[in-house]
Structure 1
Amino acid sequence: MRRARVETTHEDASAVAAALRPDNTPSMTTDVADDVVRTVVERETAGGLGSTLDDYVVNLTVAETVVQTARGHNHNHE
């Protein structure tokens, strides 16, 4: 089994994690501690691990962008 852990820091880590969870596969777990999103991926092969991590990074980028956009939108309408 191959395993990778990805930890990223965000202003609203809970919102980023919530945006990521629907795209997680059964081989992934995501949790939040303070401002850190921590995701662990386990796959049988290095190739599978690489593919899953590639998808995760794309999803993470989108999640962070959506959360930041939503925060900006909310601040503009307060």
Structure 2
Amino acid sequence: MRRATITTTHGDDEAAERVAAAVAPDNTAEMATRVEGEAVVTTVAREGTRGLRSTVDDYVVNCRVADRLGGDDGPLAGSADSTARTDDTDTDTNT
């Protein structure tokens, strides 16, 4: 099983809650999203590296959209620009 943890920050606790609420409906059974202060932390598990990479790519796009929609003039107003950090804790380099 391959796992990756994606951590994004959103400026404040409320913005992180909005982003987490926006991305959570797209989570599969192998994904878990939580809020830690101004950060949204999502862990993804997949059997193979390709599936993990694809899921992480999709998640990051969804997270960026949610964050942008939460910008000062967006429908989820209040979110700041996010910064993303990933921690792929169990991935091989052979694809």
Following superposition, the deviation at residue 58 of structure 1 comes to 0.8
Equivalent-residue separation in structure 2 for 1:47 and 1:2 (angstroms): 10
Structure with bigger RCO (C-alpha 8 Å, 6+ apart): 2
Unaligned runs of 5+ in 2: 79-95
The aligned counterpart of 2:70 is 67
Please name the residue that 2:47 is paired with. 44
* Normalised TM-score (structure 1): 0.87
**Whole-Å separation in 2 of the counterparts to 1:26 and 1:10:** 25
> By how many angstroms is 1:65 displaced?
1.1
User: 1:25: Cα distance to partner?
Assistant: 1.0
| Structure with greater helix percent | 1
The corresponding residue for 2:6 is 6
Q: Which position in structure 1 is the counterpart of 2:61?
A: 58
Q: How many pairs were matched up?
A: 72
1:75 paired residue number:
none
Root-mean-square deviation over aligned CA pairs: 1.0
Q: Which amino acid aligns with 1:6?
A: I
| Structure 1 gaps, min length 5 | 73-78
User: Given the two structures, how large is their TM-score scaled by the length of structure 2?
Assistant: 0.72
**Structure 2 CA distance for aligned equivalents of residues 19 and 7 of structure 1:** 15
